[in-house]
Amino acid sequence: MLKKLVSEGIITDPSSAKGRLIQAAARLFRDKGYERTTVRDLAAEVGILSGSLFHHFKNKERILRAVMEEAILLNTETMRAALAQALTPEDKVLALIKCELASILGDTGAAMTVLVFEWRSLNEDSQQHILGLRDIYETLWMDALKEAKEANLVVIDPFILRRLLTGALSWTVNWYEQDGKMDLDELARNALSLAVKSS
Amino acid sequence: MLKKLVSEGIITDPSSAKGRLIQAAARLFRDKGYERTTVRDLAAEVGILSGSLFHHFKNKERILRAVMEEAILLNTETMRAALAQALTPEDKVLALIKCELASILGDTGAAMTVLVFEWRSLNEDSQQHILGLRDIYETLWMDALKEAKEANLVVIDPFILRRLLTGALSWTVNWYEQDGKMDLDELARNALSLAVKSS
DNA sequence: CTTTACCAAGCAAGCGCTTGGTTTGTAAAT
DNA sequence: ATTTACAAACCAAGCGCTTGCTTGGTAAAG
């Protein structure tokens, strides 16, 4: 999945200098916040001087944008693949919940957290750009929830449900412990029980 | 409610210079973020020079702390008052949901948003201090949810449920429109339907 | 011999905060 | 009623530091 996207030029190779920079930026932006992270912090993390950053990105904000963009693109593809395996409407919703939790709590977690918490630091153009990518992602969700609604699995309006779910799932980053007693699948089932009536 | 807390010295009078400063800070911190808001922005908003801020607060971080502290104190009292009126376990949960939504989407919304999004900008001491105030607030929630669980209104573990709900409700600040077709009560009922089985 | 990736040095602007002094509000003393 | 005393609120100026970013040049790779 990742390899395919890299070879297609959609996502930067994580082993390249630029790719390592994006990953380091995701971690730093999550841990210290975008504003509190200096270009010197960023450069030190990948072993270069601060001025050299601007060979790869024209300014600091573009680094933030790249972090967010690659996270969305990767997770949209992951979700599409998972949906292809799911059969029933309930399976699809569960698959989406699992994917979203995995993206938030797994490898791309730093970038996803940045996507949620550092939105304001993007300029108008970048916000518009990322918003476009998010629309694709959100369409996958809405299609699945509408289908669940038609199957009477869901009582609330799908739009409202999606938004309440977005909050509930995003927030897990603030409390869920990867090594605790509850594994990701159980968390996903708990979240599903909020959304659907049966099961 | 507010008057009582002001007269008891728990909350700063919003019409005083310091009070207006706290309210302006809440708005600016929400709209631009804490780091992006300068002490000059802050001072201009209340019509003084930047240096004069430090007569009221010893540093910028203390302003952030005051914003958060007063929001929690006020909303804890509001919740306590609402709980006193609720009879059944389901009523209590609905009352808490309404209170939390009102605090996020109403007058104290700016401060509550800051509380969620600017946590990292507090120093260690302040985080500890605010955490203590949050514990009181959260205890009210946990008592109500445990009661609902015992009454078989709730299937999930109350701790997990509270955390999923926290996210779902906090997130409303990013999409709910005050003047849209759905009023706060209907939103609250939708949120309740996530949490409890009946109704 | 051109392109890519970096370094070395530093600039201009903006930041939080300090300092010393002036105004304003308040209340007791005359 | 006027004066005296004092603290609270604010101004004017600017210091020391950090910030994102630029510039001109070098090393290495193909």
> What's the pLDDT score for residue A190?
96
For residue B52, CA distances in Å to B20, B56, B68, B122, B190 come to 14, 8, 22, 22, 47
Which of A60, A160, A186 to probe by mutation at the B interface, max B CB count within 10 Å? A160
Q: Which of A156, A164, A190 sits opposite B160 (nearest CB)?
A: A190
Give the Cβ contact number of residue A147 at 10 Å.
17
> What's the pLDDT score for residue B4?
73
With CB atoms and an 8 Å threshold, state whether A164 touches B194.
yes
Which residues of chain B have a CB within 8 Å of the CB of A32? 120
Confidence check: pLDDT of B198 > 70: no
> What's the pLDDT score for residue B17?
87
This model's pTM is above 0.75: yes
In terms of C-beta density within 10 A (0-12 exposed, 13-18 middle, 19 or more buried), how is residue B180 classed?
exposed
Total tally of structural domains belonging to chain B: 1
Q: Which of A36, A171, A190 sits opposite B167 (nearest CB)?
A: A171
Q: Rounded to an integer, what distance in angstroms lies between the CA atom of residue B182 and that of residue B179?
A: 8
Contact yes or no for A41/A51 (Cβ under 8 A)? no
Per-residue pLDDT 10s for chain A (199 aa) are 666 776 666 788 888 889 999 999 999 999 999 999 999 999 999 999 999 999 999 999 999 999 999 999 999 999 999 999 999 999 999 999 999 999 999 999 999 999 999 999 999 999 999 999 999 999 999 999 999 999 999 999 999 999 999 999 999 999 999 888 999 999 999 999 999 976 5
Task: Identify the domain containing residue B180 by its residue range.
Answer: 2-195
For residue A50, CA distances in Å to A22, A65, B100 come to 14, 18, 44
| Three-class secondary structure of residue B58 per DSSP | coil
The three state secondary structure string of B66-90 is HHHHHHHHHHHHHHHHHHHHCCCHH
CATH number for position A84: 1.10.357.10
Contact yes or no for B97/B191 (Cβ under 8 A)? yes
> What's the pLDDT score for residue B5?
72
Q: Does B191 touch chain A (CB under 8 A)?
A: yes
> What's the pLDDT score for residue A6?
65
Give tens-digit pLDDT for B66-123. 999 999 999 999 999 999 999 999 999 999 999 999 999 999 999 999 999 999 999 9
Q: Which of B155, B172, B190 sits opposite A193 (nearest CB)?
A: B155
> What's the pLDDT score for residue B62?
97
CA B177, B183, B185, B191 dihedral sign is negative
Q: What is the CA radius of gyration of chain A?
A: 18
Chain B's closest residue to A155, CA to CA, is B193
**Shortest CA to C1' contact from A54: nucleotide:** D21
Contact yes or no for A93/A195 (Cβ under 8 A)? yes
Q: Does B123 touch chain A (CB under 8 A)?
A: no
Which residues of chain B have a CB within 8 Å of the CB of A36? 35, 120-121
Say yes or no: Cβ of A33 under 7 A from any atom of strand D. Answer: no
